[in-house]
Amino acid sequence: MKTDNPLETDNPMNTERQTASQRLADFIGSPEYTHRRWQIFIAVLLVSAIFDLFITSDHTVFFWEILPVWNAGYGFISCLLIIFVSKFLGHTCGLMQKEDYYDDKDVK
């Protein structure tokens, strides 16, 4: 589904795969299964989101709880907010500094 796939990991170790554990390790790590991993991941996302459509909330307090797939959307937006707000604070507001920040400017 993507070319520069983020699930991509290290180079495949082209060893013989005999045991189940090695096959499992290959499946979760090696790039040759990247496409398959994405397929499974998308399928899980779809099943989870569709399943959520049929669930009625037990005890609604907030208005958003009646919105369909609210949790999925909120999770995704939270993720983006956390990544970009933090990086903004780190880069633009100067929270991130060089590793020797506290070493090189000791008070004499």
Partner 1 sequence: MTEFWLHPALLYLMAAVVLPFACGRVRQFILVCFPLLAVLSVLNMVFGEGQSGSHWHTQVIGVDIIFGRVDKLSVLFALVFSAMSLIGSIYSLHLKHSREHVAAYLYIAGAMVVVFAGDYFSLFVGWELMAFASAFLIFANNSKSSREAGKRYLLVHITGGLCLLAGIVVLYVETGSTAFGPINTDGPAFYLILFGFLLNAAVPPLSAWLTDAYPQATITGAVFMSAFTTKTAIYVLLRSYPGTEMLIWLGTAMAVYGVVYAVLENDCRRLLAYHIISQVGYMVAAVGLGSEMAINGAGAHAFAHILYKGLLFMGAGAVIYMTGYSKLSDLGGLYRKMPWTLGFYMVGAVSISAFPLFSGFVSKSMILAAAHHDHNAIIFLLLTLASAGTFLHTGLKLPYYMFFAKPKAAAEKKQAIENLEPPRNMLVAMAIAAVLCIGIGVFPNALYAILPFSTDYQPYTASHVSGSLNLLLFTALGFFLFLKYLDPERTISLDTDWLYRRAAGFVLWIAHHPITRYEKLVSNISNSVVLPSLHNGAKLGLWIDTHVIDGFIHGLAKNIMRSAQKIRHLETGVMSHYALGMCLGILLSIAVYFALRHFIQAPTLGTMLLQGGL
CA distance 71 to 78: 10
Find out whether 87 and 81 touch, Cβ atoms under 8 Å. no
- Residue given tokens 């037990």 in the structure block: 58
- 33 to 52, contacts with partner 1 by CB under 8 A? 41, 44-45, 48-49, 51-52
- Binding of partner 1 at residue 6 (CB under 8 A)? yes
Find out whether 57 and 66 touch, Cβ atoms under 8 Å. yes
Report how far Cα 39 is from the mean position of its chain's Cα atoms. 15
- Binding of partner 1 at residue 81 (CB under 8 A)? yes
- Binding of partner 1 at residue 89 (CB under 8 A)? yes
Q: How far is the CB of 36 from partner 1 (least distance, A)?
A: 14
- Binding of partner 1 at residue 96 (CB under 8 A)? yes
- Binding of partner 1 at residue 92 (CB under 8 A)? no
- The one-letter code for the residue type at 62 is F
- Residue given tokens 């999925």 in the structure block: 72
Residues of this chain that interact with partner 1 (CB under 8 A) are 6-7, 9-11, 13, 21, 25, 28-29, 41, 44-45, 48-49, 51-52, 55-59, 61-62, 69-76, 78-87, 89-90, 94-99, 101-102, 105-107
